Amino acid sequence: MTAAASDNLGFIPAFPARHERRLPLLQLLKTLRENAIGTYTQDAFERDIIIYRLGFKPMILANHPDLIRHVMLDNAANYERDPVGKRLLEPGLGKGLLTSEGAEWKRQRRMMAPIFQPRRLAGFAAIMTDYSERLARKLAALPPTCHVDMAEQMMLLTLDVIARTMFGSDDGTDVSAVGEAMDRYQATVRPNIPDLIGLPRWVPRPAAAEGQRALAEMDAIINGLIQRRRERAELGNDLLGLLLAARDDETGAALDDREVRDQMATFFLAGHETTATTLAWTWYLLSHAPQVEAKLHAELDTVLGGRAATNADYDKLIYTRMVLEEAMRLYPPAHTTARQAMAEDRFGDIAIPPGTMVIISPYIMHRHRLYWQNPDAFDPENFAPEKAAQRRRYTYLPFGAGPRICIGQGFAMIEAVLILATLAQKLRARLVPGAKVAPVAKITLRPSPGLPMTIQPR
């Protein structure tokens, strides 16, 4: 469905057409590989629980907040990440926070938590603003007829930020090559048919040679950084230094090189691409909503008055956060998650046998007819403080929920707010007339084929 405008509902941004009934199996599998959110039927956005099978696998689409709480919090120990997701992510991310389970995940979480305390995050804010101001000057100097891909620009900007916050004291290292390798790897990450229909693990899965080469390049750079840092007298206060200095408060053990590598790869993906896609979609939405943009500019003029944004401004930029939260509602970067029941379970009258896959889709929940008014419209007022206070828990899940809620949530929100505030204070971005943009669900929910825009200095 292409973008549309309505006087009553506001701007209706692009989303894939919703089918009246489930697609035939072969078409469903093909669409799942190409764009997972293109498989959804209309009733997925209207019903709270849907039970079905995909090949040999029993599935439950969980749109009920209480079922989501049950799976992700109350009985989380019985639900592990789905094998398909782990097989897709582990080659690149290893056994980091995103892919580990059980006692190993708890140990990692204990060790990572001090790194993401607010006092640490405040120290990274100046880096976020500095790189944003550099980009603002570069974009404002472009000719008015020049087209720039804002999705690509946001990727490059967040790459600069995560590289500096992760490896800041290793000046001269071509960390951008890590981002390029990660991007090439992700382009090869697609679910295989044997995975999707639940065939046994011994059935061969095709491997992407390009993805393996990209991983090898990424590992060579990260492992080199780890070794050079270990040889220094001072580990540094960037994320790499903090990881190397981290100790388990129960055992006193440190992370070995492989564990450090896996956490760095995880932070790189989660701290780079997710924020970039949120910002890209925000520019797309603002381009079609001049009234929202005007209200955003008014807040920036009042709070900042032309000066650079700082960490202290975060709590004052209320409407800026509302705009970003609404962008994540419509286009959540982490669009789908799945959990597999390890033992027999029950939710009300519904039996959940072992091996059942429970699908939790923030993309669906954020547009569900039962929980949102005008759910397909762009309306930052959904996140006005008084309205947000009345919202039912587990209907808004941009960072997940339960014990495994994203540990970098605070980092991501500070980064997104400071970047948007810095850039929007200096410029406007307008989608090129006639450009067609659609959300495509890979590892994250990206605008495809890109986001061609013209820049107007304020």
First to last CA, the chain: 32
Q: CA dist 321 to 116, 266, 279, 445, Å?
A: 20, 25, 12, 20
H or E element: which one contains 92? helix 83-93
Is the C-alpha dihedral spanning 224, 226, 232, 236 positive or negative? Answer: positive
Whole-angstrom CA distances from 55 to 49, 88, 101, 194, 408 are: 19, 19, 26, 10, 36
Q: What sections of 288-403 are H helices per DSSP?
A: 290-303, 318-330, 362-365, 385-390
- φ/ψ (deg, to 5) at 307: -85, 170
* Residue 406 labelled as part of a binding site: yes
Question: What tokens does 184 get?
Answer: 């090439």
Q: Indicate the Cα dihedral angle 13, 17, 20, 26, nearest 10°.
A: -150
Nearest to 78 by CA among 393, 349, 356, 396: 356
Q: Which two tokens stand for residue 335?
A: 């669009």
| Beta carbons within 10 angstroms of residue 384's beta carbon | 13
DSSP state of 23: P
User: φ, ψ for residue 433 (rounded to 5)?
Assistant: -55, 135
For 429, list phi and psi in degrees, rounded to 5: -125, 135
Pairing of strands 57-62, 79-81: unpaired
Enumerate the known binding-site residues for heme. Answer: 406
Enumerate the known binding-site residues. Answer: 406
